[in-house]
Structure 1
C-alpha cells in the first residue's frame, strides 16, 4: 500500500482509518496503534503508516519551493501572495511558490508567460548566496545522520540510512521525521520525504504529496503501484523519448512490465534495459556520497537581445570575475573554458577551449572566452551569455609562472593584488580600469 498522508475531515478519517500498525506522528514523533486517526500524544492528524515503514532505509528529501519558501520566510508579508523567483522579463522562472503554481506557473517557464498566467505575482530576483547558505545548513544536518548523502541539487538529496538505528536509537523513518521537523522549526522552510527500498522509488514517493509530504512506497507494492503510472514517471523519459514510446503504443509503465527486457533493449538500446528494470520497481544504484563539482560557471539573460561584440565583452568580463571568485574560494582551478550563448530564437551555442594549465584567474578565463565570442558575433542577436570552466583540479597546480610572457605574470600579480584589496575594503574598492581594460585582448 502506497501511503500518502492527506489531511481529511474528521468524519472521513473515522470512515477510513489507517489499516496498519505503528503509525508515526510527523509532528511529535510518537508512535500509535493501528487505526489511529490522531496522535495520542499531541493530537496531530499528520500520521504516516505503512507495513514496511520500519524496514525501509532509502530516502529522497526535496525542499518545497525552496527559493520562494526562503523569501517568504524572510518577508512574512509574502506568505499569502503568489511569489515567483526569476530573472526579469527576459529570464525564466527559477521557482514558483505553490500559490503561483495554482495559476499554472512552473519552473523553467519564460517569465513573460508566467506573468501572463499570474499577473499579480511578486517577482523576486534570485539571491543565490542566501539560498546556498540555507542549502549548506540542510546538507550538514543530513550528513550528521548518515555519511551516505548524495545531493542532486542545492535543495534535494538521497540518503541511505541503513544501519543507523543503533546510532540514533530510532528507525530511519523516525530519524527522517525528526530531521524534517528540525528543518521546519530551525530553518523556517518545509521539505517532503519519499521513503522506499531504492532511489527510483524514493524519488517517486517524494513527489506524491508535496508540500510537507512523507510518502512511502514499499517493495511489495511497487510493481502494482507503478503499473497505472505514465511512462514519463521514469527517469530519462523526457518529452522526445515519451513521443517515441507513444508512437509504439506504450503509454503506461504497466505496458512496459509485460515486455521482455531483450525486446526493450532491441527497440531502445541501453535506455530499454533501464526501462526494463525501473518499470518493475527495481533499481540497483547505490546512494553515493557527495562528489566534487564538475564545472563552475555563471551566466546572465539580457532584458534586450544583444548582437554587438563591444557590448557583450564587459558583460563577459563580469561573469569571468564571478567564476574566478568562486574558483578561488573553493580552492580549485579548471583547464577548459566553456562559452555559452543563446540566440534570440532560443538556440543554444556552446564553445570550448583548453588551456595549457589549470587556471583560477579571471583574466585568463576572459582571454579564452573573448576569443571564442569573437568568432560567434556575426550579426546574430543573443539573449543569454555564460562562461565557465571544467576539467577541475586542485589550485596548487594553477597558473604557474610564465617565464616567456612577462605581461601574463604582471596581470596575474595585479589580479591577486586586486583580490586582496577587495577582501579588505569590499568588492567595489578597486575598479578594473585601473589595471586591466577588459575591452582589450591581452
Structure 2
C-alpha cells in the first residue's frame, strides 16, 4: 500500500483570474457579473462565476454575451495590470518554497517536500496559509490542491473551487478518483475521452485500472504518463527553469477593414514594439520573424525574415518587418488583421558574441526598451511609445503625458 506522502506537490490556481484582477480595483462590482473582453473587444476572455452561471462562455462574441446578459459589466482587458498581480502572487508563493514552476499567468506548482519541517505545519495548514496570504496581499482568491503527483494536485485544486483547499494523500487516491470525472483530468480532451469510451474507459477509476499497454496504444506517452501519475507515481517533475517558447506572437484584429498602407503599418509597428519589449524583459533573442496580414476574406499572406545574428533589437526587427510588409501589401486588397511572430528563440545570457559587435550594439539599444517598459509600468501603459505605433482606442484611463520615442543612432 502506498504511504501518504512519498512525494508532495501543490497546484495553485487563481479563480477567474482576469475578472478577479478587475474586482481588486473596482470593488463596487463584487457580487455582480463581470466579463473581460479580448483585444479590440471582440469576445469574452474571462468572466466571474455568476456570469458563467448565466451561460456566458469564454470565447463567446461580445454581442452574443450582451444579448444573453445585458446587466453584466463588460471591461476591456488590461494585460499589463494582470501581469503585475501575477508577479505579486508568485512572489508570495516563493516565500513558502524556492521551488516553483510558473505554469501560466494564473497558476503554478510548488514542490512541498520538506515544507512541513520548515513551517512546523501539515500540508493542509500550509495550503490554507498560501490561500489566505494571496487573498490578503493581492486581493484575489486562489484554490490549492496538494497531492503526490502534479496531475493529482491539479485535479485537487479544481475539486473545491473557488477559494478552496483539497489535500489528497497517497492512501486517499482511490477515494478521490471515485468522486471526480474523467473529463477533470488535464490532458484528456473531447476526442480522447470519446476514444477511451469506445474501450469502456469512462471514469478515472476505469482509467487507472486499465492495462497500461492499452492506454499506451490509445494515447501514447501522454496516456502512459497520466496512468502513472493518477496511480500516485510521479513521472512529471516540476520545470523549475522555464523552458524556451517555440514562438512569441503579437497579433490582433485591426478593429476595421482597411486598405490604407499607413494604418496597417501603424498596427505592425505597435505589435513589433510590444514583441521587442517582451523579449528584452524576458532576456530572449530571435533569429526568425514571421509577418502576416489577413485580408477581408480571411485569407492570410505571410513572409519570414531570417537574421544573421539572434536579436531582440526593436529597430533591427522593425526595419525588417516594414520591408516585408511592403512585399506582402497589395493596393487592391482590404485587410482586417496583422501580426508579428518571433521564432527560433534563444536566451540572451547564452548567446555567443559575434566578431563584428552587432549583438553588443543590440544590447545597448535593448536597455532603452527596458527603461521604456519600467516607465510604462509606473505611469501607465502607453506613457512612452514607439513613434508611428497605432494607439489603441477606447482606453478610459489615459497616461498623464506621452512622448513619441525616436530612434537612437
Question: Per-residue deviation at 1:302?
Answer: 3.2
**Aligned-partner SS, 1:165:** helix
Matches within 5 A, 1:338-377: 338-339=290-291, 352-370=304-322
Tell me the SS of whatever aligns to 2:98: coil
> Which position in structure 1 is the counterpart of 2:20?
69
In structure 2, the CA distance between the partners of 1:261 and 1:396, relative to structure 1 (3 Å rule), is: closer
Within-5 A mapping of 1:387-398? 387-394=341-348
Q: Of the candidates 145, 167, 171, which is equivalent to residue 194 of structure 1?
A: 145
Rg bigger for which structure? 1
Aligned to 2:392: none
Q: Which moved more, 1:353-362 or 1:364-373?
A: 364-373
- Secondary structure of the 2:170 match is coil
Q: Does structure 2 retain, via aligned residues, the 8 Å contact 1:223–1:281?
A: no
| More divergent stretch after superposition (110-119 vs 200-209) | 110-119
Give the whole-Å Cα distance in 1 for the aligned partners of 2:174 and 2:51.
34
Which residue is 1:204 aligned to? Answer: 155
- Say whether 1:243 aligns with 2:218: no
**Pairwise CA distance, 1:412:** 10
Normalising by structure 1, we get a TM-score of: 0.72
What's the counterpart of residue 178 of structure 1?
A: 129
What are structure 2's unaligned runs of at least 5 residues?
377-381, 390-403
Any stretches of 5+ residues in structure 1 without a counterpart?
Answer: 1-50, 438-442
Counterparts of residues 78-89 of structure 1 (less than 5 Å): 78-87=29-38
Q: Aligned pairs, how many? A: 383
Once the two structures are overlaid, the 10-residue window that deviates more, 202-211 or 426-435, is: 426-435
**Aligned equivalents of 2:13 and 2:327: distance in 1?**
42
- In the TM superposition, residue 162 of structure 1 has moved relative to its aligned partner by 0.7
CA deviation vs aligned residue, 1:40-91 (integer Å, no higher than 9, x gap): xxxxxxxxxxx96x98731111111112112112112211221111126653
CA shift for structure 1 position 174? 1.8
Contact 2:277 2:369 in 1 (8 A): no
Note the C-alpha offset of 1:430.
7.1
The superposition leaves residues 203-232 of structure 1 with CA deviations (integer Å, 9 ceiling, x where unpaired) of 001011211111122322323432564433
Check whether the contact 2:259–2:335 (CA below 8 A) recurs between aligned residues: yes
Q: Bigger CA drift: 289-298 or 367-376?
A: 367-376
Alignment of 1:8-19 (within 5 A): none
- Partners of 2:265 and 2:322 within 8 A in 1: yes
The 8 Å contact of residues 288 and 344 in structure 2, kept in 1 or not, is answered as yes
State the 1:357 CA deviation. 0.8
CA RMSD across the alignment? 4.1
| 1:314 and 2:276 correspond | no
Query: Residue 291 and residue 279 in structure 1: after superposition, are their counterparts in 2 closer, same or farther (change >3 A)?
Result: closer
* TM-score normalised by the chain length of structure 2: 0.77
What does the per-residue CA deviation read over 1:247-267, in whole Å, with 9 as the maximum and x for residues that have no partner?
555433333334311122233
